[in-house]
């Protein structure tokens, strides 16, 4: 396999160099311990949820109007389309809601999820409101406001098939609870995102940051967390946050890349001192390739090469759908590595190749 290098020596290139794509592998290996279905924080009836059910305080028109007012303020930068209760919302990523809730998964696990205006259904997730934003011809972000065992839960889908996860957006989570409980809301307006991903409220401004940085590129929520990949050189760990991707390799060496939107051309001549000063700066953008929404990252002063690619995905392992991170590189974004949510899975799936991923 060709080594993948980034001219600016951006730290993520070391991950690609470690990985080979031509090794022999068998079909999907069996995992000895199944991934159990773990619903969001409402997977079991809490005392709080039971109390709400007994009081009959579920969903009604007043709460729905309050939520609509909140979303208009919260989504001021991006205009979200609300499901009108009759016509399916068509997302740019190809889904139709609420129709396609019948095949939805949450964190890769099969659940019962359906539109239920009053929130009193027997589904795992009773959807009382749907809001969608199509941020390109093929990319979208959809929120499902749900009641699960009497608890208000906001699920998000960022174009990753029909797989949902609980939003990490603090403002949405807290204000949906407030609306459900009949309390006042506090709007923390999301910043304008420089990517096609969710424009969540952030402590980091996405306005011009100087030196050619037009703002931060925001990772999809499904990518965020800690991930592990086992390779011939040992275990590599990725930690993906809202605007950064950090790694630690098997030798304990670590580094990070901050994801920026670059607004200036790359100069033909750059000093080593300048390259070193911006070693952690990544020139990031979104790319839809073979049905996966990748974040493509180049070194800040990189003038040739494809860069590194990262995408959230799911694979079936031992009968369960498991969230993974796909790392790619090269001219065709070939799959170089797969990251799993635990070291055990990474060890168990070492050298496994998946039929729906593109290898060299």
pLDDT tens track for 244-263: 999 998 888 888 999 999 98
Give the length of the chain.
Answer: 360
Mean pLDDT of the chain: 79
Distances (CA, A) of 324 to 98, 138, 292, 321, 332: 26, 21, 12, 10, 20
According to the model, what pLDDT value does residue 87 have? 93
Least-confidence region, from 140-154, 204-218, 221-235, 308-322: 204-218
Dist CA 335 CA 19 (whole Å): 9
Q: What is the mean pLDDT of residues 109-138?
A: 90
More confident residue, 293 or 146: 146
DSSP string, 72-88: HHHTSSS-PEEP-SSSP
Beta strands in 241-345 (DSSP E): 244-248, 254-262, 281-289, 292-299, 308-317, 320-329, 334-339
Q: How far is CA 337 from CA 168, 173, 254, in A?
A: 26, 33, 18
Tokens matching residue 161? 């098939």
- Predicted local distance difference test score (pLDDT) of residue 231: 85
Residue 114, pLDDT above cutoff 80: yes
- The pLDDT, as a whole number, for residue 221 is 85
Residue 9: pLDDT band by 50, 70, 90 thresholds?
A: very low
Predicted pLDDT of residue 2: 39
Instruction: Give the model's pLDDT for residue 325.
Output: 95
Residue 231 · residue 337 · CB < 8 Å? yes
* 137: confidence class by pLDDT, cuts 50, 70, 90: low
Query: Which two three-digit tokens encode residue 176?
Result: 């949906």
Whether 240 and 277 have beta carbons less than 8 Å apart is answered as no
Spatial contact of 298 and 310, defined as CB atoms under 8 Å apart: no
Q: Is the per-residue pLDDT at 43 higher than 50? A: no
pLDDT tens-place string over residues 66-96: 999 888 888 765 678 999 999 999 988 889 9
Q: State residue 356's pLDDT score.
A: 94
- Binned at pLDDT 50, 70 and 90, residue 3 comes out as very low
Structure tokens at 221: 């929520």
On the question of pLDDT at 202 being above 50, the answer is: no
Q: What is the pLDDT of residue 56?
A: 53
Cβ neighbours, 10 Å, residue 43: 16
For residue 346, the cross-strand partners are: none
Residue 1 has pLDDT above 60, yes or no: no
> Could you give the CA distance from residue 199 to residue 294 in angstroms, rounded to a whole number?
17
Q: CA-CA distance, 237 to 248, in Å (whole number)?
A: 5
**Pair 338, 354: CB distance under 8 Å:** yes
Residue 116 and residue 77: Cα distance in Å, rounded?
Answer: 29
pLDDT of residue 311: 94
Query: What is the pLDDT confidence band of residue 122, given thresholds at 50, 70 and 90?
Result: very high
Residues 205 and 190: beta-carbon distance below 8 Å? no
- Per-state percent for the chain, helix, strand, coil, to nearest 5: 15, 35, 50
CA angle 11, 332, 327 (to 5 degrees): 40
Which burial class, exposed, middle or buried, applies to 56 when counting CB atoms under 10 A from its CB (0-12, 13-18, 19+)?
A: exposed
* 3-state class (DSSP) for residue 66: helix
Q: Which residue has the higher pLDDT, 359 or 209?
A: 359
Q: What pLDDT, on a 0 to 100 scale, did the predictor assign at position 8?
A: 36
- Using CA atoms, how far residue 114 sits from 109, 180, 320, 331, in Å, is 15, 19, 21, 41
Count of helices and strands (H, E) across the chain: 6, 20
* CB-CB contact of 145 with 130 (8 Å): yes
Q: What is d(CA 317, CA 109) in angstroms, rounded to the nearest whole number?
A: 11
For 232, counting Cβ atoms within 10 Å of its Cβ (0-12 exposed, 13-18 middle, 19+ buried), the class is exposed
pLDDT tens across 153-171, in order? 999 998 768 899 999 888 8
Q: Which of 22-36, 99-113, 195-209, 229-243 has the lowest mean pLDDT?
A: 22-36
Mean pLDDT of all residues in 204-216: 67
pLDDT at residue 213 tops 80: yes
| Range scoring the smallest mean pLDDT among 264-268, 293-297, 323-327 | 264-268
Q: How confident is the model at residue 230 (pLDDT cuts 50, 70, 90)?
A: very high
């Amino acid at each position: 396999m060709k080594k993948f290098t980034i001219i600016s020596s951006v730290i993520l290139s070391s991950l690609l160099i470690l990985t080979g794509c031509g090794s022999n592998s068998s079909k999907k290996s069996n995992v000895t311990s199944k991934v159990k279905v773990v619903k969001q924080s409402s997977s079991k009836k809490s005392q709080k949820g039971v109390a709400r059910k007994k009081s009959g305080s579920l969903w009604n028109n007043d709460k729905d109007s309050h939520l609509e007012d909140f979303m208009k303020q919260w989504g001021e930068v991006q205009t979200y389309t609300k499901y009108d209760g009759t016509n399916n919302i068509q997302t740019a990523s190809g889904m139709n809601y609420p129709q396609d809730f019948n095949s939805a998964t949450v964190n890769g696990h099969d659940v019962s999820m359906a539109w239920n205006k009053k929130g009193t259904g027997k589904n795992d997730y009773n959807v009382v409101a749907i809001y969608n934003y199509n941020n390109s011809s093929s990319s979208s972000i959809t929120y499902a406001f749900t009641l699960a065992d009497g608890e208000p839960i906001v699920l998000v889908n960022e174009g990753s098939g029909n797989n949902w996860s609980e939003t990490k957006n603090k403002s949405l989570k807290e204000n949906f609870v407030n609306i459900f409980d009949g309390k006042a809301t506090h709007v923390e307006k999301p910043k304008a995102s420089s990517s096609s991903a969710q424009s969540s409220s952030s402590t980091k401004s996405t306005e011009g940051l100087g030196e050619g940085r037009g703002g931060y590129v925001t990772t999809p929520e499904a990518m965020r967390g800690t991930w592990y990949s086992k390779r011939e050189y040992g275990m590599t760990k990725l930690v993906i946050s809202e605007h950064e991707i950090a790694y630690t390799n098997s030798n304990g060496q670590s580094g990070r890349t901050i994801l920026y939107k670059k607004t200036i051309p790359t100069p033909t001549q750059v000093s080593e001192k300048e390259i070193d000063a911006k070693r952690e700066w990544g020139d990031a953008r979104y790319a839809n390739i073979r049905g996966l929404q990748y974040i493509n990252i180049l070194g800040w002063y990189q003038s040739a090469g494809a860069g590194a690619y990262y995408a959230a995905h799911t694979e079936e392992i031992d009968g369960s759908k498991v969230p993974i991170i796909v790392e790619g590189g090269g001219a065709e974004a070939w799959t170089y590595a797969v990251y799993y949510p635990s070291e055990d899975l990474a060890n168990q799936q070492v050298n496994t190749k998946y039929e729906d991923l593109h290898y060299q």
